[in-house]
Amino acid sequence: MSLDVVSDTRCFGGRQITLKHESAATGTPMRVAVFLPPQAERGPVPVFWFLAGLTCTEDNFMQKAGAQRVAAELGLALVAPDTSPRGEGVPDDPAYDAGQGAGFYCDATQAPWSTHFRMRRYIEEELPALLGAELPLDLGRQSLCGHSMGGHGALTVGLRQPGRFRAVSAFAPIASPMNCPWGEKALGLYLGPDRAAWRPYDACALIADGARRAEILVDQGTADPFLDGQLKPGLLEAACRDAGIALTLNRRDGYDHSYFFVASFIADHLRWHADRLKA
């Protein structure tokens, strides 16, 4: 087995597992958290991927969102990867919005980032193949969700691979990294100054360039301190309207950017995904 078990804990009749492995994509050890519901003891189960945001690890969603109870009821596996490569020799930035903990789910082309920061390849290719070979996961039934930077990741991966993910949703996503300080900094560092190279990593640009999904679900808190300066859900709303994509944008009055917000509505997302993951 190419996955090392860091921890394995009983949880709502299933198993909460942290795994570690050597990644060819990043050239570093990587960790991923997986919840296997009780139904996985009888055979492969559908997969709900969750991509976390800036400064997060594989633990944040599993420890703070409270998703396992409903996932166990619905028979969904939860998979939460780390947000970047880490460790000695991996480049970093002194601020929180680039470098370790801030991979932005892209494949860097610029030094020094390009040696290790290949999170697109890791999320889209390496990790699903690895987990599918080792765990009882039904990779014919996958869905994708994320929060903040991870919401950006979920939207862009889902738009680039519409046939692979049956459902895509997000909590407070960075709707257009090309048009906010977080995205402009990270994509500029990782991909260089040519903004044309940024377009595959911007949901609104992907939609403008022809990417389509039938529907997208987004929850956004109205008291989110990053709402106007960084997240800009109105840009996604306009892009989806122009493209004929059915976007459900729930503006949650008084909610902020925290995992208290995610925990408040994660059950709604899980049930929405489960309806679309039915065989």
Percentage with pLDDT > 90 across the chain: 99
Residues with a catalytic annotation lie at 148, 224, 257
| Predicted local confidence at residue 268, as pLDDT | 98
Identity (one letter) of the amino acid at 58?
E
Q: Is the pLDDT of residue 14 over 60?
A: yes
Tell me the residue type at 271.
Answer: R
CA distances from 95 to 5, 59, 101, 148, 244 (A): 31, 21, 10, 17, 38
User: What is the pLDDT confidence band of residue 186, given thresholds at 50, 70 and 90?
Assistant: very high
Main-chain dihedrals φ then ψ at residue 165, nearest 5 degrees? -110, 120
Q: Is residue 156's pLDDT more than 60? A: yes
Q: What is the pLDDT of residues 71-110, one digit of tens each?
A: 999 999 999 999 999 999 999 999 999 999 999 999 999 9
- 110-131 pLDDT, tens digit each: 999 999 999 999 999 999 999 9
**pLDDT score at 230:** 98
Which sign does the torsion angle of CA 34, 39, 45, 49 carry? negative
Q: What is the pTM of this model?
A: 0.97
pLDDT in tens, 132-147: 999 999 999 999 999 9
C-alpha dihedral, 203 to 113 to 226 to 180, nearest 10°:
-60
Structure confidence by residue, pLDDT tens digits, 18-69 = 999 999 999 999 999 999 999 999 999 999 999 999 999 999 999 999 999 9
Cis peptide before 233 (omega within 30 of 0): no
Q: Write down the pLDDT at residue 42.
A: 97
Angstrom distance (rounded) from CA 275 to CA 279:
9
Exposed/middle/buried for 134, CB within 10 Å: 0-12, 13-18, 19+?
A: middle
Band (pLDDT 50/70/90 cuts) for residue 1 is low
**Dihedral over alpha carbons 253, 173, 22, 90 (to 10 degrees):** -110
Q: Which domains does the chain have, with CATH numbers?
A: 4-278 (3.40.50.1820)
Distance CA 218, CA 252 (A): 10
- Confidence (pLDDT) at 2: 87
